Structure 1
Amino acid sequence: MYVLRQFLSICFLLVAGPGIVSAQTAGYRHFTVKDGLAGNHAYMTHQDKDGYIWIATTSGLSRFDGRHFQNYDYENGLPDNEVLFVTNDHANRIWIHSFAANNALSFIEKALPVKRYSLKAANLSEQYYSDGNQTTYLTGFHSLVVVRGRHAPVWTQLPFDAGRVWETEDGLCYLSDGRSIFTIKDTVVRFLQQLTRYPASYSRMYYYKGLLYAVSGKTLQIFVYGQKRFRYIATRRFDASINQVHVNKYGIWITYKDQQGGCLFTRDGQWSLQYRFALPGFINYISDDTEGGVWLSSSDNGLFYIPAPDFVNYTIADGLASSVVSALEPVPGKKLWLGYNTGQAELVCYAKKTLRKERSIMVEQSSSNGFVMDIASAGKYGVFLLSRKNFLQLRDKATYLKAPGVNKSISLLNDTVVGVGGWKYWLYRLNTKRVTEYPISRIYAQCTDIHGNYWLGGMDGLYRIDGHTSGYQKLKALDGYKINALVCCKDYLWAGTQNNGLYLLRNGRIVSQLKRNSSESLASNTIKALAAREERVYIGTNKGVQLIRYNYDLHRIDQSRMLNHDDGLISPEVNDLKLLHDTLFIATCEGFAIHHATADTLHPVRYTISDVSVTDLRSNRRSDTQGTVIPYSSVGVELAFNTVALRYAAEISYLYQLESFDNRWKHTTGNTAAYTNLPPGKYVFVVKAADTRGNSSKPYRFAFAVKPALWQTMMFKCSLTLLLLLIAGGLFIAYHRYTKRKTKAQIMQNRIIAKARLEALRAQIKPHFVFNSMNAISDYLHHNRNEDAIELLQGFAGLIRKGLNIAAKDFITIAEETAFLVQYLKLEQKKCDACFDFTFESAPEIRDLVIPSLLSQPFVENAVIHGVRNIKRRRGQINVTYTLNGKDLICNIADNGVGVRRSISSKRADSIGTKLSEHRVNYFRSGMGIDIELSIADLSDGDADEVGTRVTILIKDIFQLQTNEDNAEDTHNR
């Protein structure tokens, strides 16, 4: 009974009339006021130089960056909310014309409030921007307005109503009044030629790649451009009056005055209908963007965006048997077999104005698990359909063939061999109907290489069957991997696995592996279908279709692009892929899609960084001028930036770096970067945008400077340093004066003490000198030398007067010191009967220098008493010299006596005079601050020929002593 019911069902489907499925549009996005659009009645769209889409509506002007709408209306300066058109000039100023502003234009410069510009032009209705000529053209009722560079608009009155301006490949611009064509050069308009002799004029004209399309009612005439002339070549008539014509790389777009939506025709001369875009609205304007998308402005239904018009989707809403298309197979004649998850298969024709069902059949009756697993076209042998349980050959009638248990896949391996994968693997030969069985189970993918080998991918790895000997082997490569898809290209084999990415093999060996998050990243590691032609490989995944251009020589991906719902694909869950010529057929879980896989599909999107600005967070002042200077603030600055990404806005992220501040690139998905407490200086902010598909922008460099605060300026720092130095100097001077006063007080105190001690010394010196002299006189009297005693006594009397006078002073000159010592030594000579000689040496220029009084006298006395008096075999000699060494005065007292050591041994060296002199030196050091050094040397230590003692007295900086206040007091008292 089951077989009978199945047969009757098949017969019913075979005789049933073909169903009709209406033609479907490409996938699109719909924007209305709910999404932020200013108004639902949109006149037109225009893309500026930064990539923003500007929309003129009856409720204001909108700017769209792919994510957000920014709206301008009367409150922002528009003369009227009903904006008729929008365009840009070379400086990217946005020019608009409002309904109520007949004699005025408005423009927006860098998103500042709207500004007005008055001129005589009225009822402007069309616009065109020529990037090559750096000129914007605005036309309307007897008016032509030209905006060049950043100059003001120039109005020219015309004798006719001008239509839209167009530009040819040679850089020339033209316009028409509906009957004739005129050339435009600057603001000069000249007649070129007449287009038609028809009574009706052309309402629309559009130029694209050498062809001019002119609309008149239901007629579209085409002219070819050459040698600066337009020549008629063809006419196309339609059933309804044409409203808009737009031509781009996808084809010819036609909208009608009394119909919603429109049609897209091919540009190959055959005018084949690619699809009808059945949009819910009357289309007012069609424009392109730089990312390959198409924008359609509608009346009362907002804005429609078709990201990739070469995608056409068909869903269950269009009459498909199920939303889940599990398999498909294109066949000649612009036809396609579709297999569903319900066990049903359909043959549809996609070449006519509608998608039409031509045949339908139930491959399997099960509605819960009756997937059509695979479809293969075998030319004259018909089509093979495989479900989980059935294997069907369909020609004029359906023939069920024996299948190897639960089925997985089929493939036409060559003209007469069909491979069937299930619990076992079969090769079914079409010409002989012989079956060769292999003990290989659960084969999900099959293909044939250029050598005639059959490649099988299964649950546990990769197999190869020799197409000539029918022998098979399991390969070590991919052992244990579940392989979902196989395709051969050139001498290579591509293998897509369940969770391990994509592999490229040659002669059964892996030569390359592509995985997600690797250097050659895939969108997903789950590969469900593959198709390939030369270097182009199409990869069906659970996240969409990835198109790559693979370099087989270098084993790398040269280009890559992902196609998913952002590109118009109805569903990213891909079940099957088939490539026929340049058309890619995609089976998904929500319907199927047709994609015209041209070479430019792989062209990357180039983003542009725009709206870069810096904001002082303390004052919230924003500037977008290069080189702007902002004051220093510890709060910091914020850099803002943006990128227009119309198709992949949700995937955009940024890398940025502040040169000379950041040591690495930083990443953000937002549109700002903040820096706190930025030091003063010049900075360059570098930012670039990229999406997850490899599309990126060039780095944008924005220069700005942080002005130092007052306390950070060099002048302030120098002033502060000077002030600190002055304060430090004042403190130092005050401290110096304090310490000087304190030191002076201490010196005075020490001086008082020293003077007291000195007086005591003087009290000792005077009797000591008198005692020595009295001893000499007594000695003369004892030896009856009365005359000598009298002479000595007279000399002593004069010496004592002079010595006591000098001893009472602190300072005397070298001449006074020398005179006193000469007189003293003469007396000593008399006392010893001229037993020694003496000399004094001093330069005339130093004889008036002041020195401490009687500083050398005790040492001269020691030289006489303890030195030369006691020698017997030679004559005594005493030499006193005063020399100047720079600023220092040196006094040497040398004798040829017994020497210091013998004097010490005889205990005659500790004379009272020497001790008094040492005390006197200490007084001058501590009490008066005079630096005096005293040294005594025994000459017999150095050389045997020299005997005696040399006393050296060094007075440092003798010239400073000349102005000493104590010295001045003594010299005044002389």
Structure 2
Amino acid sequence: MKQKISLFIIVLFISCFSVFAQTSKLNYNFTIYNSGLPSNTIYKILCDKDGKLWLGTNKGAVKYDGNVFKTFDTSNGMAANNIVNLFYQPKENIMWPLTYNSKLIKINTKSDGIINLKSKEKIVGAIMYGYKSNNSINFITAGQNISLQGKEIKANRLESNFFTDYLNTNQTPLPFFYKNLFNILSHADITKNFSLNKKRVFAKNSTRLGKYGTILLKNNIFIKQQNKIYQLLDINSFIKHPDCFIVDLEIVDYSLYLAISGTDGGLYYAKDFFKNPKNATFKLISEKGSSFSVCKDKVNNIWYTINGKGLNVITQPDLSPYVYSLLKLDNIEGYDQIRSINDSLVAINNLLESKFILLNTNKYDIEPQNQLSLNLAKTGFLRTFSNLAKKLEKDISHDAKVFFNNNSIEYYTDEKSKKILIDVPASAIRKGDYYHDKVIFSTADDSVYVLNKETKKIDLKRSLSPLGTINDIYFHNDSLIFFCTTKGIFTSAIPFKKIHKLSSKIVNKILVNDNLIYFLGDDGLSYSKYNTKDKIETIFSPAFFTKRFSIIDFDLTKHNILLLTDVGFMSLDKKIIDQKPTPIKVNLEKIILKDSTIYVNSNLIEIESGKSSQINFLVQFLNPENNSFVKEYSLSTTSDNWIPFKDNSFLQTNISPGKYILKIKAIRPGKNEEAIIKYEIIIKPSFWQTGLFLTLLIAFSVIIVVLITSLILKSQEKKTLKKIALEQHIAEIENRAFLNQLNPHFLFNALNTLQDYIIQKDTHNGIFYLQRLASLHRNILDFHLKPTITVSEEKNFLEKYLYIQQKRFSDKFSFTINSDREANQLKLPAMLVQPIIENVIDHGFANQDPDKEVNIEFKEKNGYLQIIITDNGNGCLEKILPLKEGHALYIIKERLYFINIKNNTHTNSIDFKANHPKGIKTTIYLDL
């Protein structure tokens, strides 16, 4: 019986009308930004289900993903680039650009693939509208209704009453549509009163198809809801200019946006139009101009066009999809606690008036009839929540069953309450919580007590004053207790022997739910995952919004986060935790000078020096939470010198002529994310700086140039003669080096070795030896025609040469030739290394000592070629140095010297050192 009475009282309370609190949205001011694309005429804007914007423009179909504008060339000629409208099929991921030249085109919004559909039937005129009817897709021109079933296209004559079919097939129920506020019309009334012209039903200012199944007829908007046609508005009620007409519309919440073309056109807005259409006031919220389209995106930002002004966006921070209900209280003073009773009922406590409000949050908006203003109720079920209003309470447990007063603790069940009296000798109770039979609470001297709920005795006392003043306690389980103090967040377990510091973040309240830990601080609401408690991220901050407010208290339900703020009650969907912030989007919109304005459309900006005494830079931020960004700029010629600025602009005065780099930085706090944009600013010199003084300077410069030119010509003549002499000398050196390779002694000795093979009748080795000898001399002749050869060619040549020399000396020495992969394609003068090898063999290996060897290495060092020749022969530096004129090694040094002169460098060189324990190490550096 008692339960039935309690239930009756609750139902009665919920059905009552309360005047204690009234609903209203937070009144944020619109923030308008221009996002570029000014050279396109944008006829239509649509948002696909992935949140990307699609634009129909005179230069093709354009997709905007928030960062990049991508244009789809859908034509073979310029005419098809004129996309006059768009039709979207979200389930099929198909976007139809409607063309001016009667072509049917579809784009897959996922893959961006383009398909052109060919029609056997003739399509006449621009394809202006599309809609779906049963199993077909219909497209409308000025005189035809084109039906597409699969790939078959049929074209029928368009009748003036085609809008009947459109309204019947394109109904979009609006959940907030109050039919009694609008006039009802029949098809006959519309046809009669608006006298449609059968020949040109789409004449200017006559008939248009709009969103939500609307029809725009002669500046009137009609919509079909529940099989009836309603007249929404007449444009003549707020615009009197005859050339103005409605082109497009958009609906957000209860508000209506209109894109209007004409002299007094632009984007018009009527707040709460669908709640009170007769008294709704339309106001122009854009600059004047012809607006062709308006569209909302997935987060209810409003995108619209102004002819010649590109794509514009109005950000509305209060329209976040996760902040789905807001109650503004008449007098917020005294409300300091919020508790959820269940998923739909919320109690808000007012200590000053000993009252609380019980809210039903099931609906999208909280209407007055869903609010309750209750005096203290002592009836069973509500007793727990009525105790929220007691003035003496210091704290309440996380489930609102244990109440902490100055020197007492009360425990309540659903049916009855029992009071636990406790004498705290030190000082008054401040904060507390409980888990099972243990109650933990802190006192004013920062001591912590553990009370046994059953025995009513204190089992433990600890002083935690080193942790700071305790702001909140959350008893999670037997092994984990959270302490929020003025020094950070700490965790421990009874008996508090080990205390772990979770974070230095200062918070006022903590709750744990679904393996997430929620924190409330002065900067807003944040959270941490239970298994990564050291990483705390912001969920919701007042800094995200244009209007500042403070969060007083919060609580959790299964799906929502409940907030009590100093401007009212908010409810957030927990999905907000998984919401990733949009990338920071910032650009320089314009530069305002004393007498003019520069609209920025490139990264190079030129300003006359006479106008640089006062320059105001206006920055655009396309993120709704931009007010929370850290904003800095740097204007310098060399290194960055970051200067913070507020709002969306900063001022520079008396900038000297020159080139500057302007950098603008935006940082999202708590997310380690920043964006930097860069511009080149050129301050031109004033006119007086380029007058008569410049003329005299030019005349004087001409004279100097003539004199210098004369000197240069004479110098060039000398250099030319010197160069000719140098090239002749180089040619002589190269010729001498070549002739040195054709040394008759080498050929004679090589032929003697061949003779030995013949005498020994070693035909196989003799033929192989002869092939190597012939190939070697063929290389020598080829190299004479080349100024340079590759390392690979040089290695091949040296292998043949050393093989012949090795056989000549009866294999008394060995050799190795190695090279880096990077060195193989580098260049070197032909026949450069062979004289060094010959000198090693003839002089270093002259005696009959065994185990002689010569090693050759080609290496790439920082772009240079390094050649290292080492041997263990009997040669010594005293016999080589200094090099004697005419000697083969001297000729090599001369070749390198003249290469340096020719290339104006000093990097080509040859160096000789002793190779320990014996022999010589020769190193050549080449940079050709």
Structure with higher Rg: it is 1
Structure 1 or 2: more strand by fraction = 1
**TM-score scaled to structure 1, two decimals?**
0.42
